[in-house]
Chain A
Amino acid sequence: MTTAEGRKLRSGFAVAGLGKMGIMHAAMLSVVPGARVSALVDQDLKLCEQVRSMGVQAPQFSDLEACLDEVRPEGVWIATPQFTHRALLEACLTRGVPVFCEKPLAHTLAEARSMAEAARRHPQTPVAVGYMLAHNPLFSRAAELTGGGVLGDVKSFKASCRLSQVFSPKKGWTFTRDRAGGGVLINSGCHLLFVLTMLFGRPRGVFVRGRGVHNEVEDTLTAILDYPSGLWGSVDVTWSVPGYELQTHDVEIIGTAGTLEVGNQGLRLWLHHKSAEHPAGWSEWRRGAQEPRAAFSLSPDYCGDEFFLEDQDFVEAVRGARAPKVGVEQGLLVQEMLDAMYRSMAGGQYVELAGEGAS
């Protein structure tokens, strides 16, 4: 394939960053039809060796630019910590190489904006962001039902993201404000914020109280989001509660005609009166019974379908020269929400969103 700038790329994809998510993407790329891993990149070459010993037959690099120039992959998965994303994305885009960037887009809004600018300068080069819940049909259906007026006037919502992970002071970049950008909200809760953008679009402003329980960064927070339509809702995010070995994302929406509850595995709709398509009372949908399903899953208990589908979507976007399902503008909108929420948390006041991301 040839880039918009006339540079020739070779079949195959590079994976940069070989932590848990990098290995997951390398595995998915090995089973997505027609795709393959053509290079492994990590500053720690021992990690590259380890992934090669898992069965990935690909050359290894400690530097992404060297990989881009030597292997010329048709796309790159960036699965490194968020404070490294911008430089890696720009290195790819200047060479016309499509990028799949893991969430969140960056650790600061300024970096995310710079990345969005870079993507806009290369409109022919697909850039995807790893908000995999976009590929969960339950959240898409919830957005259709809510947007389609089945609930009547939507008045409020209650959203939560829970995980059992942090019960003592932690070390590592994930728990530092300067490199991660924050704590549980930016590292885990950003998936829930993405879901809220699917359901309700762009909020007007936020009021947030959050605090570290065990760490300098926030381990738990509560927020109120309000929207230009008059809708408002609460958001609770924590990684310091027991009973949630796997991360959950739940939203309960209250409208004048009924309520809707949606999470990773199930969707329930309750209507006061029957509608054109749904009976009065409860209707339920389960994730396992919904299309699309993945041809291969590495984690059926947590988003196994979604990890496959997002990688398949990016491969198809690259080869079909089309936009991926989640692009940089959606990633930027989540970043604007994160930025406003952190400013509100720091100042203790209501903060309006600054910015330009997709509405």
Chain B
Amino acid sequence: MTLIDAIGGPQGDLLGLSRLLGGALAEDRGEARRKLIARFQNPGLLRESLRRLRGAGYRAVLTLGEGRLFEALGRHPASDLPVPLPVVPNLQGFMREAVEFGMLGAGLRRAWRVGPLALAGLSLRGVGRLPALARREFPAMVQSFIELELADFIRYDPPVVFLQAQMTDLALAFNNPRILEAFFAAVRARTGGAAGLLTANFGALGAALKSWGLETEAVIAPFNAAGEQMRPDREQCLHAAKACEFPIWADRLGRPDPPDAADRSVMDQGGLAGAVREDQGLWLGP
């Protein structure tokens, strides 16, 4: 079974919760969006929406590791809910807690959440990285942080884990494959799933991966008819997408509306697997 078969819903689409849980409202701060974000403060109502959308054929939901999500999903995988596809690390959540509790406090809270047994396992596996961590080496910190976050997701057996876009793009900007290698190592160490990348700079990704000798198993990047946030431009992104062997999903950038025919046409031209759906009509339902 291919990854697309395993996680693709209607028209190959994935559900997206990252911006809805994180509260990053993108361009739309209208009443419906506020209502949706307020609704998802309640894990019970979030679970209700997830169950309804699984019933409509959506198999997977792209999401940050937030406490409300885990409450909504319950302690064990449920066949009537979509499988979570983690986006790691949850920088936004970490920074939010860091403002409240300080960097150390935020780190300790993360550690506390995963529980003593999982923490002990992580510590044993991380012993080899201690010197690098003591030197605050960024790739080692990324790997440890991601392993810590994945501890919350393991019980749901995610088929693919995605690296948060800022991390992917930091690696691209600094031409540093070690950041991606750290992510791939963390995913290998903690899950049996594939490793995918989110990026806002898709046009630069393919050449960088090739020059670094690295391969990803999936990508999520902006694709739309208007070419918004498609870097360096729409044509180059479509050209690069056609040459890819891994599946690509379109990041809708928090747009409140579903992909229209023009967007779908662009996705077809690039051979995309589908879109990540965060539109409020879908999530709020009839």
A56 within 8 A of B: yes
Out of A27, A50, A242, A300, name the residue touching B229 (CB < 8 Å). A300
Question: How many A residues have CB within 8 A of the partner chain?
Answer: 44
Q: Taking CB as reference atom, which chain A residue is nearest B254?
A: A301
Nearest chain A CB to B191's CB is how many angstroms away? 25
Q: Is the CB of B200 within 8 A of A298?
A: yes
Q: Taking CB as reference atom, which chain A residue is nearest B226?
A: A289
Q: Which residues of B contact A55 (CB under 8 A)?
A: 171, 174-176, 178-179
Q: Which of B4-12, B42-50, B96-104 contacts A (4 or more CB under 8 A)?
A: B96-104
Q: Complex Cα distance A294/B254, Å?
A: 19
Q: Is the CB of A300 within 8 A of B176?
A: no
A170 within 8 A of B: yes
Q: Which residues of B contact A246 (CB under 8 A)?
A: 24-25
Q: Which of A159-167, A181-189, A274-282, A350-358 contacts B (4 or more CB under 8 A)?
A: A159-167
Nearest chain B CB to A65's CB is how many angstroms away? 25
A243 within 8 A of B: yes
Instruction: Give per-residue flags for B10-49: 1 if the beta carbon is below 8 A from chain A beta carbons, else 0.
Output: 0000000001001111110100001001000000000000
Q: Which residues of A contact B23 (CB under 8 A)?
A: 164, 242-245
Q: Complex Cα distance A266/B136, Å?
A: 40
Q: Which residues of B contact A54 (CB under 8 A)?
A: 138, 170, 174, 176, 179
Q: Is the CB of A46 within 8 A of B136?
A: yes
Nearest chain B CB to A261's CB is how many angstroms away? 11
B269 within 8 A of A: no
Chain A contact residues, majority secondary structure? loop
Q: Is the CB of A286 within 8 A of B228?
A: yes
Q: Is the CB of A300 within 8 A of B27?
A: no
Q: Complex Cα distance A293/B226, Å?
A: 13
Q: Which residues of B contact A242 (CB under 8 A)?
A: 23
Interface residues in A237-252 (C-beta closer than 8 Å to B): 242-246, 248
Q: Is the CB of B100 within 8 A of A167?
A: yes
Q: Which residues of B contact A302 (CB under 8 A)?
A: 24
Instruction: Give per-residue flags for A139-175: 1 if the beta carbon is below 8 A from chain B beta carbons, else 0.
Output: 0000000000000000000000000111110110000
A79 within 8 A of B: no
Q: Is the CB of A30 within 8 A of B92?
A: no
Q: Which residues of B contact A235 (CB under 8 A)?
A: none
Known: A49-B135, A286-B27, A289-B228. A56 touches B201 (CB 8 A): no
Most buried by B among A248, A287, A293: A293
Q: Which residues of A contact B102 (CB under 8 A)?
A: 171
Q: Complex Cα distance A298/B200, Å?
A: 7
A304 within 8 A of B: yes
B253 within 8 A of A: yes
Q: Is the CB of B229 within 8 A of A288?
A: yes
Out of A168, A287, A299, name the residue touching B100 (CB < 8 Å). A168
Q: Taking CB as reference atom, which chain A residue is nearest B137?
A: A53
- Which A residues are within 8 Å of any B CB, using their own CB? 26-28, 30-31, 46-47, 49-51, 53-56, 164-168, 170-171, 242-246, 248, 265-266, 286-289, 293-302, 304
